Amino acid sequence: MTQSNSDSNLKLFALNSNKPLAEKIAKHMGIELGKLAVDRFSDGEIQINIEESVRGDNVYVLQSTSAPVNDNLMELLIMVDALRRASANTINVVIPYYGYARQDRKARSREPITAKLVANMLQNSGVDRVIALDLHAAQIQGFFNIPVDHLMGAPLLAEYFINEGVADNAVVISPDHGGVTRARALAEFLKSPIAIIDKRRPKANVAQVMNIIGDVKGKTCIMIDDMIDTAGTITLGSKALMEAGAKEVYASCTHAVLSGPAIERLSSSPLKEVVVTDSIQLPEEKQIDMIHQVSVAPLMADAIVRINENRPVSPLFKQVFQSKKTQK
């Protein structure tokens, strides 16, 4: 259990998107969650009442801006405004999953850059710091003019695979060229080689051809992505890997978005297991047997305490990984 300094005036509040994660973080820190009421008027407007004093406190608010994205984002903005008007010393938002992160550039003419818009909204509402986990694009940190602490989920996923013996004779798979950096980070923890799935569509209306760059024959393949949304890429990739001679295929990601046909696709795929974190709260209907959740609560709790005590966060990743590995 991580204990924060008694004189630090640290308070942690949870909004509605992921209360179970917030409760785990508070338990790990040895504190109680702040008292808060989130209600709705009959027309759907959100009303927030902070039920304890926050004057002069360093306040941390946990909210994943996952589905329903707009409701959760609006909740967060209203909470920040309430804290600012209640004279909180600092307002720090902990966003395990940053919604709209995929809209981080203009891919076509006249498109918005919504990830930047969200950053502007948070800053303008009065946020002093953002603590995020595995942003879809690392450069989103630069959309803010306030400090952003970017935490990594890879050490936690690696720890699970090592403890389960999956890392033996494993190869880490990037499902596309854009995810190579992420795959390499996991591979370094597992001391494994990497391979890449090269997806190409020969011509319009012709199915994608998947070529595997790297040796996967007879290997345990671990696919890694920042999120699994509709699970199309992951399930097609797993089939291609099995056809290329893989012994078995695991999938892993930090953010289990799992929208649309995702659960059906995963259930009918050759994947042995899907390892995700609890950055997004999974409803009961999505908690199928093949999905295993690894909690990011200890990582986030330790990060909050370090930030509150003005200590560096960067050493935390190796420390978390090494300390847990020795507990096996």
State which amino acid sits at residue 62: L
Reduce the DSSP state of residue 222 to 3 states and report it.
Answer: strand
Structure tokens at 14: 């949870």
State which amino acid sits at residue 227: M
Cα end-to-end span (Å), the chain: 18
Sign (positive or negative) of CA dihedral 39, 298, 158, 95: positive
Structure tokens at 202: 């020969």
State which amino acid sits at residue 30: G
Residue 323 CB neighbours (<10 A): 11
The residues, any chain, with a CB within 8 Å of residue 96's CB and separated by 6 or more, are 18, 21, 62, 64, 132, 133, 277, 279, 280, 296, 300
Task: With CA atoms as reference, report the closest residue to 145 among 125, 119, 115, 112.
Answer: 119
- Report yes or no: 54 and 92 within 8 Å, Cβ to Cβ: no
- 324: annotated active-site residue: no
Structure tokens at 319: 């420390």
State which amino acid sits at residue 63: Q
Spatial separation of the C-alpha atoms in residues 212 and 70, rounded to whole Å: 38
State which amino acid sits at residue 237: G
Phi and psi torsions of 322, nearest 5°? -70, -40
The single residue of 27, 116, 199, 247 carrying the catalytic annotation is 199
Burial class (CB in 10 A: 0-12, 13-18, 19+), 101: buried
For the annotated catalytic residues, the residue numbers are: 199
